[in-house]
Each structure stands twice: as C-alpha cells, then as structure tokens.
Amino acid sequence: MKPDFEQYITKTKLIEKTDASKKIFGEVFDDKTINLLHYLSQKKYFKEIEFAINEGKEAIVFRALDYNDEFKAVKIYRIKTANFHNMRPYIDGDNRFKKLGKDKHDMVFNWCKKEFKNLELAKKANVPVPGPLASKNNILVMDFIGDKEGIACKTLKDTKLNKEEMESVFEKVVDDYARLVFNANLIHADLSEFNILIKWQNEKPEPIIIDIGQAVLINHPKAMIFFERDIKNIARYFSRKGVEIDDESLKEKLRQMKEKIKKEK
C-alpha cells in the first residue's frame, strides 16, 4: 500500500510557505525521500520533521521531534546535486564497501551508510559525535546536538570564544582526534571549524565532531594524505586564533596522545 505522504507532509511545519522552505522542499523532498521519511516515522524514529537547522555542501539537516517529544537530527543527502566525483576517492579503497559503478543513487546511499558506520565506530571509541540512530538510503537519523530548548549548537567557526576557551577547545579537539585515529581507526578527512559544533556545558565549551561521511579507515590508500590535510586545517585555524601550534607540534601532541591511549587500553 502506498503511504499517504500528503498527510505526513501536512503534519510537518516545513509546509510553511516561506521562500526558504519552498526552496529546500524542492531540493530534497522528491517522492522517494518523502516515502522514506514516512517509513522512518512509522518505525518510530521521529514523528515530525520540523525545520532545516542548516544546509551543508552535501546535505540538509533538519530538526525532528520524536514520539517522546525529544529532538532528533535528520540529515537528508541531496541526490540530484550530489558531487559524484568529489565523493568517489573516499569510497573507493574503503574495503567496507564494494567498488561502485556510475549510479548516483548507489554512491549517495553508500555515503550515507558510511557516515552511519563511521559514527558508530567513533561513538564506541568515546569520541564526542552525534549518536547514530538509523540510516536508510539518503537519510541519516542521529542525536540532535543542541540545548534543552531545541536550539542547535553553532559551529566552532560561528562561536565567539575567549583565549582561554579557545585553548581548552583546542586541547579537547586534539584529544578527540587522537581517539578517532587511534581508537576508532578513522581519519576524519574533512576536519575543520565548519565540522566541529560547540556545546556549552556548565558554561564551558565542548567540541562535538560532526560530518564524518567522508572519513576513511586508517588502512585506506589515501589515509595519510587526508590525515596531513586534517592536521593542516586544525593547526591553521587554531594558530590564527592565537593558540601556539604548527603542523609539526600538533603531530607531536598526537604521538603523545597515542602513547596515553595505549596505556589506557
């Protein structure tokens, strides 16, 4: 039986007729995606998609409400405008996925599954990431990163921090990245101030790492190249913000963390 998506859609606040929501609506809500949202909502992952929190390069992330009235984040990958060529180097060479052909759907679906699996690995390794809840085709359901009122956390790029806060965020990012690499065996491959959210806990900024669809296992043929790029991005950003760090000293810090993590095991 065909689900009644008309009914589902009118239940969501997205139908509000602002130009922004109309644009988003057209971009991601094709029949198949609506069908899938309906399926996931029947599976009780959420009851309502509320509104877009933010739009990234590959996806739009929505706030959703579940059946306990708790917030969830639903990331919907665009299929039509997916950049196939940019995705390929991160999927080819990952032995968790078979070599993909030229089908755009296949690529996006596997990418989404990859983000889910990477989040699972990161979570298990105690890296602060949104806990993954479900993935199906181009939709990923995960923990909502925000406050109790439902305001989503800002990215590091958009957060104002004083010197002391910046230094503490830096130390935590190094710690988290070391756990990601040495415990979860993952290289983020797109780590930057855009893919770190800042959650305020007891008035202290805590980094949460997001957007790990492109992350590869350390045995991936390009892992070293991606690792070097992550290092460069992080060292560049934090040194610009007044933290005394360069590529080499960041690598040294990671080596020290590796020893510490080994001892913890």
Ligand X SMILES: Nc1ncnc2c1ncn2[C@@H]1O[C@H](COP(=O)(O)OP(=O)(O)O)[C@@H](O)[C@H]1O
Number of residues that bind Mg ion (CB under 5 A): 3
- Which position among 21, 35, 126, 155 is part of the footprint of ligand X (CB under 6 A)? 155
- The answer to whether the beta carbons of residues 96 and 218 sit under 8 Å apart is no
CB of 7: closest distance to ligand X in angstroms? 27
Enumerate residues 78-117 that contact ligand X by CB under 6 A.
none
| The two three-digit tokens of residue 34, written as one number | 């609506």
Q: Does 56 bind Mg ion (CB under 5 A)?
A: yes
Q: Does 144 bind ligand X (CB under 6 A)?
A: yes
Q: Does 3 bind ligand X (CB under 6 A)?
A: no
Q: Is 190 a catalytic residue?
A: yes
186 sits in which H/E element: strand 186-187
Closest CA to 32 of 85, 94, 76, 93: 76
Active-site position among 94, 175, 190, 230: 190
Per DSSP, the three-state class of 198 is strand
Query: By C-beta, is 6 or 149 nearer to ligand X?
Result: 149
Give me the residue label for tokens 């070097």: 228
C-alpha neighbours within 13 Å on the C-beta side of residue 222: 15
| The two three-digit tokens of residue 226, written as one number | 């991606």
Find which of Mg ion, ligand X, none residue 73 binds, CB within 5 to 8 Å per kind: ligand X
How far apart are alpha carbons 171 and 197 in whole angstroms? 15
Question: Which residues are known to be catalytic?
Answer: 190, 211
Binding site for ligand X (CB under 6 A): 53-54, 56-59, 61, 73, 75, 130, 142-146, 152, 155, 195, 210-211
